[in-house]
Amino acid sequence: MNKAELIDKIAKDSGITKAQANEALDSFTNGVIATLKKGDRVTLVGFGTFSVSERSARNGRNPQTGEVIKIKARKVPKFKAGKEFSTKISGKK
């Protein structure tokens, strides 16, 4: 499912226009991004938790030359599925 298909589904399920559904989805994603940028986490009970993880600096290799390169430390987004979400996906009860 891509963004356009998700917007169609949200609009249909909630009885709003596609434009309103697009605004709602953009607001959600922007809110999650802004919260993660501040270093906080977003928890949606039953769905999951969005958070930021720190990757430390490390050495890597250029696959073409074999040369050792330094990979900088960075922050990466992380999502951990909630129990209810995982249960619905796996089909287990």
One domain for residues 10 and 30? yes
Angle of helix 18-37 versus helix 3-14 axis, rounded to 10: 120
> Does residue 89 sit in the same domain as residue 63?
yes
Indicate the SS3 state at residue 39.
coil
| Domain count along the chain | 2
Note whether 30 and 62 are same-domain residues.
no
pLDDT digits (tens, 9 = 90+) for 6-32: 999 999 999 999 999 999 999 999 999
**Domain housing 91:** 41-93
47 shares its domain with 27: no
In a shared domain, residues 67 and 83: yes
* pTM (two decimals): 0.78
**Per residue in 35-86, pLDDT tens?**
999 999 999 999 999 999 999 999 999 999 999 999 999 999 999 999 999 9
pLDDT score of 93 more than 80 = no
The CATH number covering residue 91 comes to 4.10.520.10
Distance of alpha carbon 7 from alpha carbon 85, whole angstroms: 21
The enclosing H or E element of 51 equals strand 48-55
